[in-house]
A and B are shown apart, each in its own frame.
Chain A
Amino acid sequence: MLDLAGVSVQFGGLRALDDVSLRVAAGEIVGLVGPNGAGKTTLFNVVSGTVAARQGTLAFDGADLAPLPTHARARRGVGRTFQIPQPMHTLTVTENLLVAQRFGAGRIDRAALAEILDLVGLSGKAGIDAATGLSLTELKALEVAKALATGPRLLLLDEVLAGLEAHGKRMFTQLLGAIHARYRLAILIIEHDIETISTLCPRVAVLDFGRLIADGPPGEVFRHPDVVASYTGRGRVDA
């Protein structure tokens, strides 16, 4: 359903993405890993529309995404979370989801909204002001909830686990599994935690210096010499 082909992005002299081709099928969960600065968030930015690609094509369900602005892509079904949660501060948790539903999915469905809140564990915080009343974990949950409320068919998750301790990580991993089971959407997830990625994703893609250096099942990918070299310099990873 998502089809990137030969995508390149340049920021001044820096090649953030170099001839990247990646496909995500409907309902698939794909992990996206790589060292810091490899271009993972840039790839998300290209898909969501924040950044334009110099070269290459970007298709979603066969349709060209390039001419569409960010909000139009969101309405088409591309949902995205940010690494640093960006809630709508002046609104309550429920209002955050209402905006996402109204403008992303096109209509308000209170039942679906309640279900999402329940799924991410924010039912108790429905009326709370997003700016002041939420912990980091809850903010991340809201980030995911907002994206879900738009009724996406592809969910881009940018390091939702970052900054969480072991318990939080387990919780979120379960949450993602539950989301996938319930909504059957395609998920592309950026993470650094190799263990989580290996558990969650049947397929992993690896970026290094803007180039895609591996794409396959985690067992294979994490033994691939290029991948190992990019992470450690030399040696093997015992997966």
Chain B
Amino acid sequence: MTDLVAQALYSGVLTGSAYALIALGLALVFGTMRIINLAHGELVLLAAYIAYTCESQLGLFPLLSIPAAIVVVCVATTLTWYVVGRIERDHELNSLLLTYGIGVMLTNGALLVWRADIRSTKSAWLQEPVVLGPLYAMRSEVLFFVVSVVLIGALWWWLTRTWAGRALRATASNRDAAMLMGIDPRRVQLVSFLVAGLLAAFAGTAIYTIGVIQPSLGISLTVKAFIITVLAGMGSVPGVLAGALLLGVTESLTTTFASSALQELAGMVLFLLVLFVRPSGLFGRRIGAV
């Protein structure tokens, strides 16, 4: 029994690390632009399909597709940043509708180009099990866990120690004040989009090598990233990490003790619980006494 739980925890943490990359990207963009990019999951999907194309058409090892994924996804996010910036009125509502439209285009684009079939990596090396005592994982899971940790660490360092990162945090905290300090919000927003794109590219490749992909995955990932940000509460990067791990572990425990079909439901129940009991999130700042 404890073996099962330990395995579930282990797998959950590994999966959670990929979720963290996705959720962080969403949170960064929300922080600087105050918009939720409803197409974010589709960006991850795009990266995943690029990995697929590189592997199936060019015979490349999936990890080598990452540079291509980064380029394509960053171009997509730059375009998104550009069009969202052109919205003049009702910014909150219209940006939601616009990114929703972009998401629809990307999902259907994926459907058009790659059809609805389920795809996954054929690389045997990536799928080989790695055994750590009683715990088992695929090589790809462990590999991308390490990659995620490195990326998140780098992001943390970048946000706290570089001027660009500080500018981003300043804009997220108080846009007008940041402008008064000479920070160009548009540039900062572009940077946040690019960073989100970078993280998404890695996450997409990870998902391709770890699981299966199909066009409908885009929305599913956006929903998960959203659930994580609610779990985390606003303005908390460590919270996003913890939320991502929590979601990963919850899904994994559900798969082990119930069924894999219910794992999405598990995330939802978690989401509802937090919403009912602690709406500011598990790690969010509690403002005032209300």
Q: Which residue of A lies closest to B289 (CB)?
A: A52
Name the interface residues of A8-23: CB closer than 8 Å to any CB of B. Answer: 9-11
Encode A20-56 as 1/0 by CB contact (under 8 A) with B. Answer: 0000000000000000000000000000001111100
A11, B290: Cα distance in complex, Å: 10
* B134: interface (CB < 8 Å): no
Encode B258-290 as 1/0 by CB contact (under 8 A) with A. Answer: 000000000000000000000000000001111
Contact A10 B289 (CB under 8 A): yes
Q: Which residue of B lies closest to A9 (CB)?
A: B289
Least CB distance from B284 to A in Å reads 13
A51, B290: Cα distance in complex, Å: 6
A54, B290: Cα distance in complex, Å: 10
Name the interface residues of A38-82: CB closer than 8 Å to any CB of B. Answer: 50-54
Least CB distance from A10 to B in Å reads 6
Give every chain A residue within 8 A of B289 (Cβ-Cβ): 9-11, 51-54
A10, B289: Cα distance in complex, Å: 7
Give every chain B residue within 8 A of A51 (Cβ-Cβ): 288-290
| A interface residue count range (under 10 / 10 to 19 / 20 to 34 / 35 or more) | under 10
Give every chain A residue within 8 A of B290 (Cβ-Cβ): 50-52
Q: What total of chain B residues lie within 8 Å of the partner, measured CB to CB?
A: 4
Least CB distance from A149 to B in Å reads 26
A50, B287: Cα distance in complex, Å: 13
Give every chain A residue within 8 A of B287 (Cβ-Cβ): 11
A51, B289: Cα distance in complex, Å: 6
Encode A78-103 as 1/0 by CB contact (under 8 A) with B. Answer: 00000000000000000000000000
A9, B287: Cα distance in complex, Å: 12
A53, B290: Cα distance in complex, Å: 9
Give every chain B residue within 8 A of A9 (Cβ-Cβ): 289
Give every chain B residue within 8 A of A52 (Cβ-Cβ): 289-290
Least CB distance from A140 to B in Å reads 26
A52, B288: Cα distance in complex, Å: 8
Least CB distance from A40 to B in Å reads 17
Name the interface residues of B146-201: CB closer than 8 Å to any CB of A. Answer: none
A53, B289: Cα distance in complex, Å: 7
Encode B52-83 as 1/0 by CB contact (under 8 A) with A. Answer: 00000000000000000000000000000000
Encode A167-204 as 1/0 by CB contact (under 8 A) with B. Answer: 00000000000000000000000000000000000000
Least CB distance from B289 to A in Å reads 5
A230, B262: Cα distance in complex, Å: 63
Q: Which residue of A lies closest to B286 (CB)?
A: A12
Least CB distance from B285 to A in Å reads 9
A189, B139: Cα distance in complex, Å: 70
A10, B290: Cα distance in complex, Å: 10
A54, B286: Cα distance in complex, Å: 14
Least CB distance from B287 to A in Å reads 8
A11, B286: Cα distance in complex, Å: 9
A53, B287: Cα distance in complex, Å: 14
Give every chain B residue within 8 A of A10 (Cβ-Cβ): 289
Give every chain A residue within 8 A of B288 (Cβ-Cβ): 11, 51
Q: Which residue of B lies closest to A46 (CB)?
A: B289
Least CB distance from A138 to B in Å reads 27
Give every chain B residue within 8 A of A50 (Cβ-Cβ): 290
A5, B149: Cα distance in complex, Å: 53
A52, B289: Cα distance in complex, Å: 6
A54, B289: Cα distance in complex, Å: 7
A50, B290: Cα distance in complex, Å: 8
Give every chain B residue within 8 A of A53 (Cβ-Cβ): 289
A52, B290: Cα distance in complex, Å: 6
A51, B287: Cα distance in complex, Å: 11
Least CB distance from B209 to A in Å reads 45
Least CB distance from A94 to B in Å reads 27
Give every chain B residue within 8 A of A54 (Cβ-Cβ): 289
Least CB distance from B126 to A in Å reads 48
Least CB distance from A100 to B in Å reads 23
Least CB distance from B234 to A in Å reads 16
Q: Which residue of B lies closest to A10 (CB)?
A: B289
A181, B166: Cα distance in complex, Å: 58
Least CB distance from A87 to B in Å reads 20
Task: Identify 13 residue pairs between A and B in the complex whose beta-carbon atoms are under 8 Å apart, listed by A's number.
Answer: A9-B289, A10-B289, A11-B287, A11-B288, A11-B289, A50-B290, A51-B288, A51-B289, A51-B290, A52-B289, A52-B290, A53-B289, A54-B289
- B→A interface (CB under 8 Å): 287-290
The 6 closest A-B pairs by CB, nearest first: A52-B289, A11-B288, A52-B290, A54-B289, A51-B290, A51-B289
- A→B interface (CB under 8 Å): 9-11, 50-54
Given A52-B289, A54-B289, 9 more pairs with CB closer than 8 A:
A10-B289, A11-B287, A11-B288, A11-B289, A50-B290, A51-B288, A51-B289, A51-B290, A52-B290
